[in-house]
Structure 1
Amino acid sequence: MKKYMACIATVVAVGSVSACGSSNGSSTGSAPATAATTGSKAATGGFTGSTKLPSGKVGVLQVNAQSERIQIWGKTAKDALSKVGWKSEVIDGKGDPAAWAQAMTTFINEKVDGIVTLAIDPAAILPQLKAAKAAGIPVITAGITVAGPGKNLYAANYAPPDGRFGQVLADYLKTKFPAGTEYVDQDLTAVSGAHALITAGDPLMKAAGFKLVGTKDLNPADLVPQTSKAAVDLTAGHPKAKIMLTCCDFAPPIVVPALKQAGRTGVTIAARYDNPSSLALIRQGAPVVIAAADSDQSVLLAIGQLLAKKASGTAIDPKADAGKYTFKMVDKATVPASGFVFDPATQIAAAVKQWQTEYSR
């Protein structure tokens, strides 16, 4: 599994790409979280002056730093920890289970105060999760939901509900296209959180009268050519399809140029996350819509929980992120002129402020 999850760095580097979903710009879902919380107390903040918080270190394991969204989450973790005076070690897992295992072993040997994994299902690192638990090192997975054997070894899984992205996209699309519209799916069943978007969105699409006429399951070991080829094959095989519902955030910057070259520019690409590449595509008029969420909250919640545990022994709350996420559809009518829909820097600042209040003497 050499390359998976999200927009490929080389694609991002060479072109403007974007994925966004839109509607009237209003949010759907629960009210936005104003800061990351630590469980028994609200946690936030940058630590200035005297503080009761001891120093610490967190290991952050990225499933694959070629993912644009994974890069953003890793930077959020690093920046937030720096602002509170903690050390961080961010390791790119390169989509390779062997690299994930080695990184986990490194963190355990270094006796870090906690580990945050980004988009790694537990079965792939089961021995290391057991070793971390035996060593008393809490491991929290953030960003995307995980599933499978060993899920209970994570102290918590903080992520916007992945199925909700599919629901938000379906609700939007049925207001823009008539019943009977044909559509195709790009799925990634090898990644549970990615697949959840499709399994939640398809029933709503079908209930609204849309016709699913084709599906391609992507190979996570070869994402860029797989995603491009699948898009061309799906639209060539189903020329009446007007929508491509995709599991993930990496599709728009790959699919848009592929379909343009194939002469299939009339297909709307429906994806997730307010990646800069996807937002750029929307600003340029590409047929892209995305469901966005303030997913950096999940990373900040994980850090807040680890800070609280080190500072006062507070038990990690596996339900600390309940109701913390806001979803928005973004399209050409609602895309911001610049920046993110949910700015990571703003979310970090709010969390740091809370942590400062929590731990200042």
Structure 2
Amino acid sequence: MRYLKHTAAALLGAAVLAAMPARADHMSVERWRAALTAWPGPNAPVKAESGKTVFVVTCASQGIGCVRAAQGVEQAGKVLGWTVQVIDGRGDPGAWNGAILSAIAAKADGIVLAAVPPMLVGDALQRAKDAGIAVVSVFNPKPADEDSIFAYVRPDHHAQGELAANWVAADSGGDAKILLIEDKQFPELAQRVDGFREALAACAKCEIVESVESTIGTMAQRLPGAVAAALSRHPDADYVVAPFDSNAFFAGEGVRQAGRSDTIKVTGYEGDPQTIEAIRAGGQAMTIANPAEWMGWQATDELARAFSGGTAANVPVPFRLIDGDNVPQTAGWLGDLDYAAQFKTLWGVK
């Protein structure tokens, strides 16, 4: 029944989007389904020095996107002859701070924060800056004011939230009842929620029936039960929108516990390998995908610019909407382009 309902609703999608205000046009669902064909940058060459030591601090091992970004740094670092040490942040601000202090003690040349919120490690970052260590943030939004971070490697999270809302509005035929999951610890996830709420307001019959709070450190234990309980309170809910794909996996467990797999569509963000497979198999409906390994290479590029005394490129990272109509045959969305070759050309290496 779910597929009959949503197939009929999808036929109304174009009309729903056409009726939405013009400000949503730049987040057209069809436009963002298309494969990436043009290199977005950076474009300025940089002489990458060898022999550097870099620490990568991940948000948590459960955060597949930040782990993939760390793997990208490892891959790129190997090309440049760097020593790269990855530390699991375990979803714990104490562990994040400790990892940065370990990098300082080891006299690292650079630090990459993989989805670690800078505002929660501010004192440690200032100590890193005082020690002359370059820091690059991955995933976190770039603030308006200058701080101790050299460069930010991130997509437009607010726009991703808008795009997710437009997809839900179109897919539901303009009549979605949504359980929204929020993780308020990470600023990029808050921006996604803000964009989602703002764009969804243009869909007159769409409604967020309840918001469920979650944290990356507890989602495996607590989120399935919280989602199942919320769905029991809202039998009319037909979409669960998670803030990232690892979270969507546990939200999906809650949907199954509630016995609602036939009536609920789960969406997320990141485009991780298990999610692409789940979309292919019909287990997850949609994701707004980031090329996480590419982001690790781009963070390495930014560090190379810092080490050479240059300025940060701060080029926003591309993203793509992936659902059952355009799911790729790759293990996770990798960005459609040969990003490794592009960066090697910039660095003058083979």
* TM-score range for the pair, normalised by the shorter chain length: 0.7 to 0.9
Label 1:340 to 1:123 Cα distance change in 2 as closer, same or farther (>3 A). Answer: closer
Q: How many residues align?
A: 321
Deviates more, 1:111-120 or 1:248-257: 248-257
Per-residue CA deviation, residues 89-117 of structure 1 (Å, 9 max, x unaligned), is 11111122222222111211222221111
Per-residue CA deviation, residues 160-198 of structure 1 (Å, 9 max, x unaligned), is 121122111112222211233221211111221112111
State the match for 1:291 in structure 2: 288
1:336 equivalenced with 2:328 (yes/no)? yes
In the aligned structure 2, how far is the partner of 1:272 from the partner of 1:261?
Answer: 22
Q: What is the Cα deviation at residue 343 of structure 1?
A: 5.2
Label 1:55 to 1:220 Cα distance change in 2 as closer, same or farther (>3 A). Answer: closer
Label 1:34 to 1:351 Cα distance change in 2 as closer, same or farther (>3 A). Answer: farther
* TM-score w.r.t. length of structure 2: 0.82
- Secondary structure (helix, strand or coil) at the match of 1:178 reads coil
1:81 equivalenced with 2:80 (yes/no)? no
1:177 equivalenced with 2:177 (yes/no)? no
Q: 2:310 aligns with which of 305, 314, 323?
A: 314
Is the CA contact 1:160–1:298 (under 8 Å) kept in the aligned structure 2? no
1:56 equivalenced with 2:52 (yes/no)? yes
State the match for 2:256 in structure 1: 260
Greater length-normalized contact order (CA 8 Å, ≥ 6 residues apart):
1
Q: 2:45 aligns with which of 38, 42, 57?
A: 42
**One-letter amino acid matched to 1:194:** L
Label 1:28 to 1:334 Cα distance change in 2 as closer, same or farther (>3 A). Answer: closer
- Secondary structure (helix, strand or coil) at the match of 1:269 reads strand
1:191 equivalenced with 2:180 (yes/no)? no
State the match for 2:39 in structure 1: 33
**One-letter amino acid matched to 2:314:** D
In the aligned structure 1, how far is the partner of 2:227 from the partner of 2:324?
Answer: 22
In the aligned structure 2, how far is the partner of 1:338 from the partner of 1:56?
Answer: 32
Per-residue CA deviation, residues 182-240 of structure 1 (Å, 9 max, x unaligned), is 21211111221112111110121121121111111114441112221222122111111
Label 1:103 to 1:229 Cα distance change in 2 as closer, same or farther (>3 A). Answer: same
Q: What is the Cα deviation at residue 159 of structure 1?
A: 0.6
- Secondary structure (helix, strand or coil) at the match of 2:141 reads coil
Q: What is the Cα deviation at residue 146 of structure 1?
A: 6.6
State the match for 2:9 in structure 1: none
Q: Which runs of 5+ in 1 are unaligned?
A: 1-21, 44-50
State the match for 1:10 in structure 2: none
1:59-208 paired onto structure 2 within 5 Å: 59-145=55-141, 152-208=147-203
Is the CA contact 1:186–1:230 (under 8 Å) kept in the aligned structure 2? no
Deviates more, 1:298-307 or 1:195-204: 298-307
- Secondary structure (helix, strand or coil) at the match of 2:266 reads strand
Is the CA contact 1:247–1:271 (under 8 Å) kept in the aligned structure 2? yes
Per-residue CA deviation, residues 272-317 of structure 1 (Å, 9 max, x unaligned), is 011011111111112421111334443322211221333x3223x2
Is the CA contact 1:143–1:296 (under 8 Å) kept in the aligned structure 2? no
- Secondary structure (helix, strand or coil) at the match of 1:207 reads coil
Q: What is the Cα deviation at residue 24 of structure 1?
A: 5.0
* TM-score w.r.t. length of structure 1: 0.80
State the match for 1:15 in structure 2: none
| Identical-pair percentage | 20
- Secondary structure (helix, strand or coil) at the match of 1:197 reads helix
State the match for 2:297 in structure 1: 300
